[in-house]
Structure 1
Amino acid sequence: MIIRVAHSPDSDDAFMFYAINQKKIDTKGYEFVDILSDIETLNREALKGTYEVSAISIHAFPYVADKYALLSSGASMGDNYGPMVVAKQPFDPKELKNKKIAVPGTLTSAFLALKLFEPNIDYVVIPFDKIIEEVKSGNVDAGLIIHEGQLTYQDEGLVCIVDLGKWWHEKTGGLPLPLGGNVIRKDLGIEIMKEISEILRESIKYSLTHREEAVEYALKFARGMDKSKADKFIGMYVNDLTVDYGERGKKAIQLFLKEAYEKGFIPNMPEITFI
């Protein structure tokens, strides 16, 4: 049985799926096929139920909960760090409502976190890997950065206006900011969903226990980061919370979506089941 696994072409996702792609673990007769695309495109494809398994933004989950369940492993959580708003010159975060901000997509969790921080923003959607350039060129006043930009923005001469992961951590008394998760299509049936969930969990655990070889593999997806930076970035987003959300991670998702629903930023509060 072919299972398409859609995820971002990033070092952290490549690290997660290393053991499956390189046949390091038993895949129980399933043939896994990688589909690589940026997260906003994956969110849009999930609305159509395109892939059997997909990385999506937690922000997108309410829109696809009729078709998909959340897998209990594969989460990307910002634990006292996360997406940032950056600019060429420092300014008070209260001024964000008066600035034009480049964002990586309206279904990203970074965008939802920014809306929770400052509901009234003037924004333009720009591909995530072009945002720093747009800020540097002055086409926008600030940019909402995700992925490796969180580690490289200072190299580009930019400053952090607000780290939304830190803000959320302080606001919630220490919860991580839920950014991405893996979902699985419900029409596969519960037995297949559970088997695939276990395979994906084993892949993550394999990479964490064979870190050196998995990081080496992931480097080809590191978009210019050296090994040290790539290793740091992977450590930020592939860790114990990735193996399993745990009570902390589950509580964070519930609160994130509950606040978004109460403020009218998402259409419904989905029932969240973890496979």
Structure 2
Amino acid sequence: MKNPLTLGFSPCPNDTFMFYPLVHGLVDTGGYSFNERLEDVETLNRLAVKGVLDVTKVSYAALGHFREQYALLRAGSALGRGCGPLLVAKEPLDPAALQGKTIAIPGRYTTAHLLMRLYAPGLTTFLEMPFHEIMDAVMTGRADAGVIIHESRFTYQGFGLHQLVDLGEWWENETGLPIPLGGIVAKRSLGADTIRAIEQALADGVEYARNNPAAATQYIREHAQEMNEQVCAAHIGLYVNDFSQQLGAEGEQAIAELLRRAEAAGLVPASEAPLFI
């Protein structure tokens, strides 16, 4: 067995669902083992900026900041249609009314933040916080609006909040492409053979998880904490799809377009590094 690789992913159900087979040896890993580290996606983004982990989940917006050091894998993505971040507020406002107002975001490097900047470049006052605190911040007035992700998509109406913009829908209408939220990257220094072996193992793991959806139930529940079963199932159903198993040409095009627009807006540094090994 080779030396273990450090592997970062979030405790969100879509990630624990997909990674369960890989970290529990239910698929052929090519002799590789993994020491997993579960963190909020913005924490993972910042760890990748510092080059801490060998393989990790990151926001696609964050990839623009370290693609010289990390290559993208074609498996394990959160990418699709009807799954983008939502801009919400206590009242059904015109987003133009948010000029000069404070908008809560789930982190500087998140795709949610990047989409907000692309959608409304004039909005520049942002308050960073963990994603699960955003709805409370809007409800209590700490923020005038918030960009929500993950399971908040399914629960915000129960908190009396109103959707102002579906940023994923905006992206789809603008580009005709699915919205690339997050993906898996590996250090280029691992080498092409290792990276391809990890990519294949992850793709096999996603296939295993989709064919055996009950296998990871306990593992998912351990990390989902207070999320109820219905929301947990809806979360997995929304964020784990065919793109998760294999990006395909459309998925790759969506990622390239997001990074192209981010570069053009000066929100990520320009890079000639290829996305994939």
TM bucket normalised to smaller: over 0.9
Equivalent residue runs for 1:207-246 within 5 Å: 207-246=209-248
Q: Kindly state the Cα deviation for residue 213 of structure 1 after the two structures are TM-superposed.
A: 2.5
Length, aligned pairs only: 274
Equivalent residue runs for 1:25-104 within 5 Å: 25-104=27-106
CA contact (8 A) 1:102 1:142 kept: yes
In the other structure, the counterpart of 1:163 is 166
In the other structure, the counterpart of 2:131 is 128
Once residues 222 and 155 of structure 1 are traced to their aligned partners in structure 2, the CA distance between those partners, rounded to angstroms, is 19
Once residues 186 and 164 of structure 2 are traced to their aligned partners in structure 1, the CA distance between those partners, rounded to angstroms, is 36
Equivalent residue runs for 1:13-24 within 5 Å: 13-24=15-26
Structure 1: tracts of 5 or more residues without a match? none
1:186-210 Cα distance to aligned partner (Å, 9 max, x none): 1111111111111111111100111
CA contact (8 A) 1:258 1:269 kept: no
CA contact (8 A) 1:78 1:165 kept: no
Q: Kindly state the Cα deviation for residue 2 of structure 1 after the two structures are TM-superposed.
A: 0.4
- Corresponding position: 1:187 with 2:189: yes
TM-score normalised to structure 1 length: 0.95
In the other structure, the counterpart of 2:147 is 144
Secondary structure, aligned partner of 1:69: strand
Q: Kindly state the Cα deviation for residue 27 of structure 1 after the two structures are TM-superposed.
A: 2.4
Once residues 142 and 5 of structure 1 are traced to their aligned partners in structure 2, the CA distance between those partners, rounded to angstroms, is 34
Secondary structure, aligned partner of 2:65: helix
Once residues 50 and 253 of structure 2 are traced to their aligned partners in structure 1, the CA distance between those partners, rounded to angstroms, is 28
CA gap of 1:2–1:67, structure 2 versus 1, over 3 A, is: same
AA paired with 2:102? K
CA contact (8 A) 2:67 2:271 kept: no
Structure 2: tracts of 5 or more residues without a match? none
Deviates more, 1:17-26 or 1:237-246: 17-26
AA paired with 1:253? I
CA contact (8 A) 1:59 1:107 kept: yes
Q: Kindly state the Cα deviation for residue 86 of structure 1 after the two structures are TM-superposed.
A: 1.0
TM-score normalised to structure 2 length: 0.94
CA contact (8 A) 1:102 1:125 kept: yes
In the other structure, the counterpart of 2:10 is 8
Q: CA RMSD in A?
A: 1.5
Identity of aligned residues (%): 39
